[in-house]
Amino acid sequence: MKFMIVGKADEETEAGALPSPELVADMHAYNESLVKAGVLLAAEGLYASSHGAQIAYSGGKARVIDGPFAEAKELIAGFWLIQVKSREEAIEWALRVPVPPGHDGVGLDVWRVYDPTDTPDPSLSPEAAHHEAALRERLEDDRPS
């Protein structure tokens, strides 16, 4: 099962403040432990929302809203994509994420990533299913080792 651990933004990350050298070292150690356990698929930090955009839809039309966005607590600062055996294991890994002292409130979300093989779509034609499988295989082949 794949899970995404989502790190929430705060006023500091939205202001573009860099983490302390100690926190960076702790994050590197955490990421290394994920790699050694063979569960890490991806991990990235994100720029502040001032570098981003949102797409809003109304009446069938898209509207681009440039950042920054007001509610930092609703934004994300980074993520880890992991492959583990259970939700409980994903939560165990999330509980190990180094968090700087003084951070209160919800700091991480743990979301299961939907995989098409979880519930095969009976309406998917054999050709479409083959195309989907081939695309995923190409993605895996193109991923650096």
Quick check: 4 and 79 in contact, CB under 8 A?
yes
User: Topology of domain 2-115, per CATH?
Assistant: Alpha-Beta Plaits (3.30.70)
Distances (CA, A) of 42 to 67, 91, 127: 25, 17, 30
Quick check: 48 and 67 in contact, CB under 8 A?
yes
Instruction: For the chain, give every domain's residue range.
Output: 2-115
3-state secondary structure 38-70: CCEEEEEECCCHHHCEEEEEECCEEEEEECCCC
**Segment 69-112, tens digit of pLDDT:** 887 668 999 999 999 999 999 999 999 999 877 777 768 999 99
Please state the rounded mean pLDDT for residues 133-139: 79
Taking the C-alpha atoms of residue 31 and residue 38, their distance in angstroms, rounded to an integer, is 11
Q: What is the pLDDT of residue 78?
A: 93
